[in-house]
Chains A and B, each alone.
Chain A
Amino acid sequence: MSKPTAIVIGAGFTGVATAHDLALRGFEVTVVERGPIVNGTSGRTHGLLHSGGRYAVKDQESAIECIVENRILRKIVPQVIEPNGGLFIAITEEDLAYGELFIDGCQQCDIDIEELTPKQALELEPNINPKLLAAFLVPDGTFDPLRLALAFAATAKKNGARFKLYTEVENLLFDGQGNVVGIQVWDRTSGERYDLHADIIINATGAWAGQITQKVNSDVSVTPTPGVMVAYDQRLIQRAINRLCKPSDGDIVLPQRRMMVVGTTSFTVEDVDYVPVVEEQVQEMLKRGAELIPGILQTKERGAYMATRPLIKESGPGRSISRTFKCYDHKVVDNVDGLITITGGKATTLRQMAERVADMACEKLGIQATCLTAEVPLISYREYYRLPN
């Protein structure tokens, strides 16, 4: 019997993890991506391996997803993770009051936290604001975004998946009854245009999901919500330092290699292909970052960029929308078979997003195959370049 076939559109975190999952379940997978691996939102994450603490008070569904996946990623892909943990620190009385909610929330979400005295916190992290009022240790981490994606892509490749980079989807192909059976693509390296067919097409284009769903006149869409990230040229901390407060602008400073990254802001845009950095937001990150790590004022900016979150479209302003993800079977939503859209979510939950969308693909095609990705260690990310395509 021939293998079931799948096309995954997008080689961001969701796309590469989905390719890996489907390949393990016996699919013949082709990933098409208009640029290089993780050139969109995924590559531009600050690289926080979330403990879930950030969402434990107001968005517990996301918080639980984060802590579960945090534990799995540490196990299957330690090759790209700084596993040092994180701190949530209170600077003001208002932060301190939030601490009560934080303790309850973390407990409800099964996130292990440890309360430290300010003195203990300063012993661990001498460069945090010495005026801190309280601190909690959480199992945060930092990862390298490109290499995290490459590890998934490499393992997918080993199991037969093929990657067509710099290849843009121009049109969907239909069967005459309005169902999707393939894609027409443009290879930007050669200028060639050609068709690809598959049993199932998965739209994993994140903040760009609407560009595919509009081709089937679907209302399924996302709210592209960029935020600024600013990197500084010294590493004054070893752990992720979070502000003990509800999610807000500049609420985290992360260590990465010999740098620190401060994030982020939240606003909405229409055009996601190029989001210019807003200078005022960069200044705001420095100011807010310095409230957590005063020494940041003595460092030099090393980079500044925008990353556009793919928030699920619901009513409400950016920060109030859940950070969880959603899978849409367009047969159910629009009576168009052959197409699934997955969007929303966070870098930390990439594996779980892939599991959910692969479950849906298997169910639609009547395939019995269990998800194995929580157990299978990923091979070296460098194998992505070594393995034949």
Chain B
Amino acid sequence: MSETWTIKYVIYREKKGQEPKFEEFSLEMRPEEYVLDGVEKIWAYHDRSLTFQHACHHSTCGACGMLVNGVEKLTCITKIKDVTENGGVVRIEPMRNFPVVSDLVVDMSTFFSRMETAKARQVVSLSESPTDSGIKREPNAADDLYRLSDCIECGLCISACPITATNPEYLGPAILAAVQLNGLDRFPELLSWVDNADGVWRCHSAFECTEVCPSNVEPAWRIMDLRKQVVSRRVKNLFGMK
């Protein structure tokens, strides 16, 4: 028999027109189970009015980002044993910096709209994809293999970003990282969108985004690199170069 822990889930609840509150649920969980499993169990067995976002349960869709004990986590790949202990607490809140729709569900429409404006691609050729060492492969004309991109648009970087918290107009880490990945040389029309006070220059290098990213995007250094791209693009524009 595998070991079972008793866990207290403390869940943020908010319904239209009502004051937000926290509710507690006691669950029996295996330490190897994932945080999302517990949230789903609460819905299945304890409270059918609980709403939360989830789909793939293995970190490809990015739907289930939440605050777990105060830290941004993709709950489908966060094991119980990594955030609490037997008899311990798992506190679940919706992501920060997004309007709450209901309980743990947030409105991500502005974020997705910006990702679309950024021309973020979901399917990228393997030669353009970062490797596990974080470096892009050399472009190889014969390479016709593709993969889904690293960014799963979970929004955790936006939730963790201290700049977004004070200025919602700031484009945000995932968006700027997407522009950096494509490169301004590929989409020079995005220069003015990122080269302003709410764009690449707003970042204060807190690196919280990279800290919480569950999917190898590492937005922080990409924002620094995008600044270089911006300067280089400005110079190219000055001399009418492509």
Contact = CB atoms under 8 A, between A and B. Distances in A.
A39 B55 contact: yes
Contact of B58 (A149, A259, A381): A259
B122 A144 contact: yes
B57 A43 contact: yes
Contacts of A189: 15-16, 51, 101-102, 105
A231 B214 CA distance: 14
Interface in B75-100: 76-77
B108 interface: yes
Interface in B52-71: 52-63
A174 interface: no
B126 A238 contact: yes
A32 to B, nearest CB: 14
B148 interface: yes
Contacts of A78: 123
A305 B32 CA distance: 12
B140 interface: no
Size bin of chain A's contact surface: 35 or more
Interface stretch (A1-9, A80-88, A127-135): A80-88
Interface residues of B, number: 54
B19 interface: no
A234 B132 CA distance: 9
B44 A274 contact: yes
B58 A305 contact: yes
B56 A146 contact: yes
Nearest to B115: A382
B116 interface: yes
B19 to A, nearest CB: 14
B198 interface: no
Contact of A83 (B58, B77, B146): B146
Interface in B6-49: 15-17, 30, 32-34, 37, 40-41, 43-45, 48-49
Contact of A81 (B58, B102, B123, B216): B123
A258 B150 CA distance: 7
B60 A259 contact: yes
Given A82-B146, A238-B147, A258-B216, A145 B51 contact: no
Given A145-B60, A386-B116, 11 more contacts: A43-B55, A43-B63, A188-B102, A235-B147, A257-B150, A257-B215, A258-B147, A276-B33, A277-B33, A382-B113, A386-B113
Interface of B: 2, 15-17, 30, 32-34, 37, 40-41, 43-45, 48-63, 76-77, 101-102, 105, 108-109, 112-113, 115-116, 122-123, 126, 132, 145-150, 152, 215-216
7 contacts: A35-B54, A79-B123, A147-B122, A188-B50, A190-B102, A261-B58, A381-B122
